[in-house]
Each structure stands twice: as structure tokens, then as C-alpha cells.
């Protein structure tokens, strides 16, 4: 006598994929719970594959994961300076990317280059140079700041190289996002290069500050500024 074959109906499309993935996930979870130490690693590896497949086939879960990644990125941006960042107070501002501390050190902000205002080869300040200097002064002059070291300690002019923070705000990022300078992360000092580049892209898209001018300076970075 032939044993009747049992047919199982499986939903199709993304719903079917979700059901299969969930079924496999539950099966693996149960197997892991009863696994011995010798094969646990192999089962975990298979579990990772199932989770990846689940995310590929279930849009809702994929969107939730993407939202979680955005939250992590936002938290990192709002985290502020590292705990070991040096404290200092600004005595004066020289230009849009250079300041002097109360202890006499001249600090060159990392991650940004602003139009010149006091360069010896210039007859007058470059466009938006004065605006950048004024904005930096409004942000930090006479105020306590935090100084985060990257890799290099000083440049060839003897200036102290630091990422400068005002509270939880990265000062260079504020200036770049407002279109008062462009992102400039010179190796090996590239700790915040990605967030500074994102700030520049935002300013470019909105044509803020110097990105709204035809060609603010002769720097190659402005060669592709639209008319």
C-alpha cells in the first residue's frame, strides 16, 4: 500500500520568504539551545546567514534596521568630544580656522580650510574670509572649548593641530555646514573626515555661503562650483 504524500502549501512572494526565514530562525534557535559546545559555532554561523536572508526578503525589517543605523550615527554625532579631550579657553580669533588660547598657543582647526583674511600675499581678504572669522569668533571667543588631538601634534608653522569642540558641537562642522569653509582632512589627521565631507555636501547642495558665489577663491576645490 502506497503511503500518501503529505503536501505542504507555502505562501509565495515576500510573505512566503518571511515565513520560511522565520521558521528557519526558530528552528535554529531551538537547535542552538540544545546544542553541545562542539557544534555551537557552526550553528551560529548558519543563524547569521538566516538573519541576513530575512533582512533581504522582508522590507519592513530591513527598514527598521536602517533606522537603527541612522540612530547610531546620530548618537555618534551628538556624543561630543572624547573624555580625554584637553580643555582650554580662547583668547582671540585670527581667522576662520585659527585661534589663540589663553595659554598662548596658536591652534589651527583640523578638518576645515576657510578663505584667507590675513595672508601676506593678499591685498585684501578673500570673499567670505571675514564672515568665517566673525562666525568663529561668535562661537568660541572668550569661551571654554575642548581640544581633541588626532595624529599630528603641530604643523610646520608650529601651530597646535586640534579638532575644536564647543560643548557637543564640532566647530569645523558648523562652519563647513554654513558654507564658510570647505572640508579639508589631510592625512594622517582624518578622524572626522566623513562627517565634515557630509557637511560640505549639504552646504553645496543648498549653495550656502561661499558655495553660492561664482568662484570664491582660486583653490581647485571651487573649480566645479556651478555658475
| Catalytic residue list | 108, 116, 159
Cell of 70: 541612522
For residue 136, which of 159, 169, 185 has the smallest C-alpha distance?
169
* Count of H-run helices and E-run strands, the chain: 6, 8
Residue 24 CA to residue 58 CA, distance in Å, equals: 14
Residue 84 CA to residue 103 CA, distance in Å, equals: 19
For residue 101, which of 131, 142, 154, 148 has the smallest C-alpha distance?
142
Amino acid at each position: 500500500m502506497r503511503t500518501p504524500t503529505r503536501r505542504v502549501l507555502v505562501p509565495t512572494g515576500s510573505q512566503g520568504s518571511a515565513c520560511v526565514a522565520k521558521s528557519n530562525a526558530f528552528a535554529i534557535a531551538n537547535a542552538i539551545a540544545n546544542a553541545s559546545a562542539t557544534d555551537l559555532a557552526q550553528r551560529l554561523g548558519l543563524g547569521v546567514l538566516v538573519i541576513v536572508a530575512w533582512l533581504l526578503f522582508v522590507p519592513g525589517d530591513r527598514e527598521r534596521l536602517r533606522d537603527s543605523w541612522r540612530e547610531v550615527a546620530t548618537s555618534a554625532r551628538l556624543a561630543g568630544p572624547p573624555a580625554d579631550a584637553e580643555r582650554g579657553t580662547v583668547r582671540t580669533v585670527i581667522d576662520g580656522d585659527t585661534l589663540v588660547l589663553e595659554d598662548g598657543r596658536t591652534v589651527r582647526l583640523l578638518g576645515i580650510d576657510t578663505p584667507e583674511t590675513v595672508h601676506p600675499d593678499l591685498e585684501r581678504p578673500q570673499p567670505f574670509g571675514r564672515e568665517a572669522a566673525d562666525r568663529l569668533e561668535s562661537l568660541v571667543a572668550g569661551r571654554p572649548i575642548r581640544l581633541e588631538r588626532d595624529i599630528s601634534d603641530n604643523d610646520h608653522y608650529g601651530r597646535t593641530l586640534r579638532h575644536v569642540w564647543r560643548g557637543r558641537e564640532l566647530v569645523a562642522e558648523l562652519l563647513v555646514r554654513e558654507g564658510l569653509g570647505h572640508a579639508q582632512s589631510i592625512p594622517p589627521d582624518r578622524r572626522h573626515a566623513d562627517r565634515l565631507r557630509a557637511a560640505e555636501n549639504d552646504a553645496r547642495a543648498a549653495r550656502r555661503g561661499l558655495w553660492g558665489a561664482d568662484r570664491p577663491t582660486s583653490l581647485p576645490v571651487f573649480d566645479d562650483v556651478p555658475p
